[in-house]
Amino acid sequence: MTKKGIDVWIFSTLTVIAAAHLIDAANALLLNKPITLLQLYPLVKEKLEAITPPIYFLISATTTFILWGITCAIAFQNPVEAFLNKVLSDAKKQSMVESQLLERKSELLDAMNETVEMNNEILSHVKDVIYNIRAEVKEIQPLKEGLEKIKAELSHLKREIKSFEEELKYPKICIACGKPVLPEFNICPYCGESLKPVQEKIVSLEKYR
């Protein structure tokens, strides 16, 4: 309020001075009286004396109305209204800031939503891959069982081949212990039983008699 009072006092004083010049210019223009107030400015007296009454009147009238308008604007300015306008202005600025923040948050939420959708697509793709792998594993399972059977048959065949090779390698069997021995052996290396035929034994006994 103090600032407002000072402003009103200053501009009202200037308005009164301008009005006095306007009256002086009107007297000079309408009544052909000499210009007196311009002589109050000795520093620019010579320049001011060159001004004609019509120009002096026009400048004085314009200055008076401008200063009077400024004085009225300051005097009739309502501080409550100014305060409310300021509050409204601040509220508008705050709402703009909040709207910008909301836009940024909405953009962030949109980005998060897109990320979630992408993750859902990736998860769906991973589920499909896992399902396909399980289906392939189920298809491979019978093949695995068949391979196991083939391995078992091959193992049995190897044992038979090995037995056959042993029979080929060791055609002579000890009648006492049943173990295979080489054909050139006459005595079993395992139990010491004679591997000669029975007839040879009988002949050898007859020769001995």
Look at residue 46 and tell me if it is in a domain: yes
The answer to whether residue 162 is domain-embedded is no
Residue 66: predicted pLDDT: 93
**What are the distances in angstroms from CA 69 to CA 14, 50, 62, 76, 190?**
12, 29, 11, 11, 142
Q: Which pLDDT score is estimated for 197?
A: 63
Last residue of a domain, one of 62, 77, 92: 77
For 117-145, the pLDDT digits (tens) are: 888 888 887 788 887 777 776 777 777 77
- Could you tell me if residue 60 is inside a domain? yes
Domain boundary residue, one of 77, 107, 127: 77
| Domain closes at, from 42, 62, 77 | 77
Give the pLDDT band of residue 202 (cuts 50, 70, 90).
very low
**Within a domain: 58:** yes
Q: Lowest-pLDDT range, 38-42, 108-112, 149-153, 203-207?
A: 203-207
Residue 197 lies in a domain: yes
Question: What pLDDT, in 10s, does the model give residues 33-48?
Answer: 887 777 777 777 677 7
What range does the domain containing 19 cover? 2-77
Is residue 89 a part of any domain in this protein? no
Q: Which two tokens stand for residue 199?
A: 């007839």
* Average pLDDT taken over every residue of the chain: 78
* 12/145: higher pLDDT: 12
Domain membership of residue 63 (yes or no) is: yes
Residue 149 within a domain? no
Closest CA to 14 of 25, 26, 6, 3: 6
pLDDT at position 208 over 50: no
Q: How many domains does the chain have?
A: 2
- Structure confidence at residue 171 (pLDDT): 63
